[in-house]
Structure 1
């Protein structure tokens, strides 16, 4: 958790500030999550 807090968490704010962070709910069936991921990717293209 220390590594996450020090190395990954700051990236979230960087990408959020840049307007390119898209949260995706990863809970559910694999196909449902896959569809959400693809929809998030499509929304940025």
Structure 2
């Protein structure tokens, strides 16, 4: 699936170029972030 967007860097505006029905039909993906809890000194700040 291709999603087109326009990013206006100076104003911080992000515009999606898809209709609302297409956007509502998309499934939300929840990434597995469990591997991000250790390494690079992160375990020192728990």
For the pair shown, which has the larger CA radius of gyration, 1 or 2? 2
TM range (shorter): under 0.3
Higher strand proportion:
2
Higher helix proportion:
1
What is the TM-score of this pair, normalised by structure 1?
A: 0.26
What is the TM-score of this pair, normalised by structure 2?
A: 0.26
